[in-house]
Amino acid sequence: MAGVGRKVPKTFDTIAKIIGAVLLIAPVKDRIKDWAYAGFAFTFVSAALAHISVGDPIALWLAPLVFLVLLTISYALFVKGVHRIKKSNNQ
């Protein structure tokens, strides 16, 4: 009975991550994609902090930070592409 309460948030979290992943690759409005990036950034930072706070080995808390760096690079390229498209549409 103790695990019943934990399944609902985990299922919600899983569904939210799937929706976020779809939004990152789907052609949606920029504002929606920004929120998907923010959600993943929050997840990676909180995962790293959780591992650090319980004293896990460096390999466990370094992994979310590596994914955060990859997410940041992806976001920078996305923003650069959006600005390039908007600039070419204005000319």
Encode pLDDT of 19-32 as tens digits. 889 998 888 888 89
Number of domains in the chain: 1
49, two tokens: 């902090």
| Cβ neighbourhood burial of 68 (10 Å; 0-12, 13-18, 19+) | middle
17, two tokens: 């991550």
Stretch 70-91: mean pLDDT: 75
CA distance 72 to 43: 13
- Whether 27 and 53 have beta carbons less than 8 Å apart is answered as no
**Triad 27, 40, 57: Cα angle to 5°:** 145
pTM: 0.74
Stretch 40-53: mean pLDDT: 91
Mean pLDDT taken over the chain: 82
pLDDT attached to residue 69: 95
User: Residue 8's domain spans which residues?
Assistant: 4-90
